[in-house]
């Protein structure tokens, strides 16, 4: 290669590095801008000493100045965690099937079905849940629109994310891991679940946290199937309202402290997602340190 060609490659690498840094900085500034906007809109109710009302009020009664977010926060976490408990084993099992068991034509078709499931709009999930799932649950324990329905719908929605990220994590595990397991006399199932899946746990956990973030932020489907009653759930069959649905239902007509309290809801959701991102980064850093 000539000197001019080498010089061009160096310039291209420098330009790529500069543009990558600029895009990363822009992304960080955008997140900070969103957080600042939410904080500015929520500031009136936070500075007036009313922030205690978000945990101590008798309930969510905006017209009376009572803004207890605790029941909706509990419902949000319960629905998301319940969906993850359902989607994670199914997603990992799907990834194991795709990587180690399915013939190539079946694996390709199954992967396309999972991708198609990921592309279905949330309102379609909500409509199906409202017309099919909610009546089925109502036959067991009325009214049907409940925390359980929200968990099941969210599990369906985040399953493709868990399955596809888990498949990518398993595909990145070196083949020598499997060869070593077989050489030690381990069975195929033991090799897969005791060696290969644990070796891919960093990628699987990252995908699970990504899916958890989507579950926390989902609005329309949960709004349609959860029942939208502001209460602490005593069972899976109780109607609940999640934080995102509360914002969607009331933002159009909210004013004053009511409007500011809805932006506090947005801050709470952003804090939850930020905590998930921090946890994922910490876990990934720990995995890298252990690998070295």
Domain of 131, in residue numbers: 53-291
**Cα(150)–Cα(106) distance, rounded to whole angstroms?**
31
Say yes or no to pLDDT of 283 above 90.
Answer: no
Asked whether residue 169 falls in the same domain as residue 271, the answer is: yes
pTM for this model (two decimals): 0.87
Question: Could you tell me the CA-to-CA distances from 145 to 124, 227, 239 in Å, in that order?
Answer: 16, 5, 6
Which phi and psi (to 5°) does residue 241 adopt?
Answer: -130, 130
Same domain (yes/no): 150, 11: no
Claim to verify: residue 37 and residue 141 sit in the same structural domain: no
Q: Are 67 and 53 in contact (CB under 8 A)?
A: yes
Model pLDDT for residues 40-92, shown as the tens digit of each residue: 998 888 886 667 778 878 888 888 888 889 999 999 999 999 999 999 999 99
Q: Is 61 helix (H, G, I), strand (E, B) or coil?
A: strand
Count of residues in the chain: 292
Query: Do 245 and 111 share a structural domain?
Result: yes
Q: How far apart are CA 230 and CA 232, in angstroms?
A: 7
% of the chain exceeding 70 in pLDDT: 92
Question: Which stretch of DSSP H or E encloses residue 66?
Answer: strand 66-67
CA distances 149 to 21, 74, 126, 156, 230, Å, are 43, 16, 10, 11, 16
Torsion of CA 134, 138, 141, 144, to 10 degrees: 40
Count of domains observed in the chain: 2
What value does the mean pLDDT take over residues 159-177?
91
26 and 2 within one domain: yes
What is the pLDDT averaged over residues 256-266? Answer: 90
**pLDDT (0 to 100) of residue 24:** 86
Q: What is the pLDDT of residues 217-244, one digit of tens each?
A: 899 999 999 999 999 999 999 999 999 9
Do 11 and 155 reside in the same domain of the chain? no
Do residues 41 and 186 both lie within one domain? no
Whose CA is closest to 150, among 223, 222, 76, 234? 222
* Shared-domain flag, residues 40 and 184: no
Q: How far apart, in whole angstroms, are the C-alpha atoms of residue 117 and residue 112?
A: 9
Say if residues 245 and 228 touch (Cβ distance below 8 Å).
yes
Distant-in-sequence, close-in-space partners of 218: CB < 8 Å, separation ≥ 6: 122, 154, 157, 244
Q: Which of 31, 47, 63 is the last residue of a domain?
A: 47
Do 41 and 71 reside in the same domain of the chain? no
Whether residue 70 sits in one domain with residue 39 = no
Q: What is the 3-state secondary structure (H, E, C) of 75-130?
A: HHHHHHHHHHHHHHHHHHHHHHHHHHHCCHHHHHHHHHHHHHHHHCCHHHHHHHHH
- Locate 15 and state its tokens: 């330009």
């Amino acid at each position: 290669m000539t000197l001019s060609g080498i010089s061009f490659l160096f310039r291209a690498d420098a330009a790529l590095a500069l543009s990558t840094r600029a895009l990363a900085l822009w992304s960080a500034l955008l997140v900070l801008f969103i957080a600042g906007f939410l904080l500015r809109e929520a500031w009136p109710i936070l500075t007036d000493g009313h922030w205690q009302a978000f945990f101590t009020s008798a309930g969510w009664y905006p017209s009376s100045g009572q803004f207890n977010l605790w029941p909706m926060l509990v419902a949000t976490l319960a629905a998301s965690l319940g969906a993850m408990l359902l989607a994670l084993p199914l997603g990992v099992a799907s990834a194991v099937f795709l990587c180690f068991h399915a013939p190539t034509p079946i694996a390709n078709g199954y992967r396309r079905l999972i991708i198609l499931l990921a592309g279905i709009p949330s309102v379609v999930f909500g409509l199906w849940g409202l017309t099919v799932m909610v009546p089925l649950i109502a036959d067991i324990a009325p009214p049907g629109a409940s925390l359980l329905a929200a968990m099941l719908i969210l599990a369906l929605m985040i399953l493709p994310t868990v399955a596809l990220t888990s498949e990518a994590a398993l595909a990145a595990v070196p083949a020598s891991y499997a060869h070593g397991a077989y050489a030690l006399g381990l069975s195929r199932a033991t090799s897969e679940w005791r060696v290969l899946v644990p070796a891919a746990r960093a990628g699987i956990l990252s995908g699970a946290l990504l899916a958890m973030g989507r579950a926390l932020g989902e609005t329309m489907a949960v709004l349609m199937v959860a029942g939208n009653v502001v209460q602490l759930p005593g069972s899976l069959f109780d109607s609940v309202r999640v934080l995102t649905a509360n914002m969607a239902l009331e933002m159009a007509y909210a004013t004053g402290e009511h409007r500011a309290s809805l932006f506090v809801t947005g801050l709470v959701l952003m804090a939850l997602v930020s905590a998930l991102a921090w946890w994922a980064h910490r876990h990934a850093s720990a995995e890298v340190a252990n690998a070295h």
